[in-house]
A = this chain, B = another copy of it.
Amino acid sequence: MKKYSEMSKGELSAVHGELNAKFGGYRKMGKKLNMTRGVPSDDQLALSDGMLTCLSAGDYKAANGADCRNYGGLDGIPEVKKIFADLLDLTQDEVVISGNSSLALMFDNVAVNMSHGVRDGEPWQKQGKVKFLCPSPGYDRHFTICNYFHIDMIPVEMGEDGPDMDFIEKAVSSDPMIKGIWCVPKYSNPTGIVYSEETVRRFARLKPAADDFRIYWDNAYAIHDLGGTYKTIPNIVRLCEEYGNPNMPYVFASFSKVSFAGAAISCIASSKSNCEYIKKRLTAQTIGPDKLSQLRHARFFKDAEGVMAHMKKHAEILRPKFKLVSDTLNRELGGLGIAAWTEPMGGYFVSLDALEGCAKRIVALCAEAGVALTPAGATYPNGNDPKDSNIRIAPTFPPLSELGEALEIFCDAVKLASVEKFLN
């Protein structure tokens, strides 16, 4: 393979002509292929179909005797609290179970801290312009929440072991208006990296200038390994406790990519004391989450071990898709010097860095060819990737054959945009 940077103008023109012709063809074919979002496939959903029918007519009582059909119970039935507590290695009074959307939990948690303050402290919104640190590339919906609440986002560079901790330590200890940071510590969205033990420890021993600084620890892929070695990350709640910051982390987890994406259960985990504050608000806010959905999860999975066994089935389905991404990118783009990408061992995404200034063009070319990708820039605060380089690939939803087609077109788009760059 010859690097594009080492090609002559003539060689580049030849490649350009070839790729242009290919795209002419793609445009005519009118494909409809989708790699936009981290959505489970039909096969994965089918793994949990037993949950549709796992309750019989007389089965509606939780272990504590609660009638799951009726009112009552703000923080989850014991069976489900135990499953989450076991998976997160916490106690049951360190978890609060919620509805089907952990995103809604995060949104609500930011909302309450803005309007009512952390643990009844001075509301963030009354203190001045609130800022969040945003390791980038990151999860676009985290950034959307900040945008919604007019929170300034400070991008933080991501490395192989997590975000730039030197930067974070300095920023957090010097600026009391930095109130939060978004983290996806395991199989980070979109790069797929796993925070190292040292990174997690540095988080736990942060010395924030603001005593109402909080870590939003979105452990969305806590148990979403592709197989092989099961990665573990240190327990942020325990470590924060150990380093004298017991109330600093909010951990979020959900079964959206365990059972049914649209009808699962979610959880916020933190110190027991933080959980008490959360429950206090819930008393004014809601009659409590859907307990029958919780009971279905408890009956279907039985316990944390049942969940882990189930995740192996997800991995069986996902592994070939991630392998196809890796194989295709290596075969088509390897050695050309026009892109770098990650090869995650879990999670839902592959992240690709194209040449600077090429991401938007690649996404546009794909769109013309019928391949929908996450908008370029979406992985950065305010949709602004300063290098216009990062693209998030979401390979989970399409069947393998469609994924293959989409990846072929995608690689051609990366090549074409790169050639155009060299020719201009």
List residues of chain A with CB under 8 Å of any chain B CB: 37, 39-40, 42, 45, 48-50, 52-53, 55-60, 67-73, 99-101, 103-104, 107, 111, 114-116, 125, 141, 144-145, 147-149, 256, 260-263, 281, 283-293
Contact of B67 with A57 in the complex, beta carbons under 8 Å? no
Supposing A287-B100, A292-B262, A293-B293 touch, asked if A45 and B57 sit within 8 A by C-beta, the answer is no
Interchain nearest-CB distance for A267 vs B (Å): 15
CB-based contact B69/A287 at 8 Å: no
Most B Cβ at <10 Å: residue of A45, A291, A292: A292
Query: For the complex, what is the distance from the CA of A292 to the CA of B300, rounded to whole Å?
Result: 16
Q: A339 → chain B, closest Cβ, in Å?
A: 28
B48:A262 contact, CB within 8 angstroms: no
Contact A262 B73 (CB under 8 A): yes
A28 to chain B, nearest CB (A): 27
Contact A103–B285 (Cβ < 8 Å): yes
Q: Is the CB of A148 within 8 A of B284?
A: yes
Distance of A58 Cα from B46 Cα, bound (Å): 9
Cross-interface CB contact of A262 among B42, B70, B284, cutoff 8 Å: B70
In the complex, chain B residues whose CB is within 8 Å of the CB of A114: 115
Cross-chain contact of A256 among B55, B262, B287 (Cβ < 8 A): B287
Residues of the B chain whose Cβ atoms lie less than 8 Å from the Cβ of A71: 37, 39, 256, 261-262
Contacting residues, chain B, for A48 (C-beta < 8 A) = 69
A387 to B69, CA, bound (A): 37
Count chain B CB atoms within 10 A of each CB in A52, A68, A291, A293 and give the residue with the most: A52
Is B72 a contact partner of A262 (Cβ separation < 8 A)?
Answer: yes
| Given A52-B60, A53-B55, A53-B57, 13 new contacts (CB under 8 A) | A49-B57, A52-B55, A69-B262, A99-B290, A101-B286, A103-B285, A107-B285, A116-B148, A148-B281, A262-B290, A263-B290, A290-B290, A293-B293
In the complex with contacts A103-B286, A285-B104, A52-B263 CB distance below 8 A: no
> Distance in Å from the Cβ of A420 to the closest Cβ of chain B?
34
Q: Of the candidates B69, B284, B291, which one forms a contact with A147 in the assembled complex, judged by CB atoms under 8 Å apart?
A: B284
Give the residues in chain B near A101, CB-CB below 8 Å. 286-288
Q: Give chain B residues whose Cβ lies under 8 Å from the Cβ of A111.
A: 111, 115
A254 nearest CB neighbor, chain B only: B287
Cβ of A214 to closest chain B Cβ, rounded Å: 18
Q: Is the CB of B287 within 8 A of A262?
A: yes
Tell me whether B289 and A100 are in contact (CB under 8 A): yes
Please, which residue of chain B has its CB at the minimum distance from the CB of A263?
Answer: B292
A411 to B: closest C-beta gap in Å: 27
**Chain B min CB distance to A100 (Å):** 5
Residue in A48, A60, A144, A149 with the greatest tally of chain B CB atoms within 10 Å = A60
A288 to B261 alpha-carbon distance, docked (Å): 10
* CB closest residue in chain B, given A141: B284
Neighbouring B residues of A291 by C-beta, 8 Å: 262-263
Query: Contact: B287 with A103, CB < 8 Å?
Result: yes
Structural contact, A70 and B285, CB atoms closer than 8 A: no
Which residue of chain B has its CB nearest to the CB of A287? B101
Most chain B CB within 10 A, of A59, A144, A285, is at: A285
- CB pair B103–A70 under 8 Å, yes or no, is no
Q: Which residues of chain B have C-beta atoms less than 8 A from A104's C-beta?
A: 285-287
